[in-house]
Amino acid sequence: MSAIDDLATELSKLPGIGRKTALRLTYYLLKQSKEQSRRLAESLLTLSDRVRPCERCFNLTEDTLCAICRDPRRDQSLVCVVEEPSDIGAIERAGEFRGVYHVLGGRLAPLDGIGPEHLTVVALLSRVASGDVHEVIVATNPSLEGEATAVYVQRELGRLSSNGGGSPLIVTRIARGLPVGGDLEYADGASIAQALAARRAM
C-alpha cells in the first residue's frame, strides 16, 4: 500500500487537492497504461529540468531571457513589479500593458518567515540603477501582505540616488479597483487593465 500512499501524499501537497481527491487521482492513474504514467513522470522531470527564472525579470522561461524581455517591441523603461510569474499571465491576458516585468518571487510575510532576503528586490534595485527605467509600477496583490510589500519596494527604490538615466524615477501603485484580498491572478482582464490605467504615484 505504501506506493499508493506515497503518491497520494505527494498529490495532496498540490494546491486545491485534498486527501480524498489525491487518492481518487492515484487510483485513476493506477488504471492508466504504463506508457501514460511514464509520459506524466517524464513531463514532470522535464519541467524542473528546463524551466528556470529569466536572468533579468525572474519570469519563467526555458532560455536565458524570457520571451517578454527579448521582445524588442516592449518598453524596457516601464517595469511592472509582480509577486509571482502567474501574475504576468493575468496582466498579459488583459492585453494592455506594453512594458516589461519584475517578479519578486512572493511577498513579505513575516509570520511565514518570508523576509526581504527571500525576494528579488536587490536584483530590481540594480536593474533600476543600471538601466534606463523611468517608471516602476508596483502590482503586488491588494492583500495586507501585498500592500506591505509594495511599501517596502517603494522605500527601497526611494533610497536609490539615481535610476541610471537623466530623468527622475517614478514609482506608481496599481489602483484599488481589484477586490481587496483577491489575487491578481484571478482578476478579470478589464479590472486589471483599469487598475493599471488608474495607477497613482506612491
At closest approach, how far in Å is the CB of 126 from Zn ion? 15
Rounded to the nearest 10°, the torsion over CA 39, 43, 46, 52 is: 180
At closest approach, how far in Å is the CB of 124 from Zn ion? 12
Interface ranges with Zn ion (CB under 5 A): 54, 56-57, 59, 66, 69
Question: 159 Cβ partners below 8 Å, 6+ apart?
Answer: none
Residue with Cβ nearer Zn ion (100 or 171)? 100
Residue with Cβ nearer Zn ion (94 or 123)? 123
Say which amino acid occupies 7.
L
DSSP E strands in the chain: the ranges are 52-53, 60-61, 75-82, 99-103, 135-138, 170-173, 200-201
At closest approach, how far in Å is the CB of 24 from Zn ion? 38
Question: What is the side-by-side order of every strand in the sheet holding 135-138?
Answer: 99-103, 75-82, 135-138, 170-173, 200-201
Helix, coil or strand: residue 151:
helix
At closest approach, how far in Å is the CB of 184 from Zn ion? 18
Residue with Cβ nearer Zn ion (57 or 195)? 57
At closest approach, how far in Å is the CB of 114 from Zn ion? 22
Residue with Cβ nearer Zn ion (42 or 71)? 71
Residue with Cβ nearer Zn ion (57 or 169)? 57
Q: In angstroms, rounded to a whole number, what is the distance separating the alpha carbons of residues 189 and 195?
A: 10
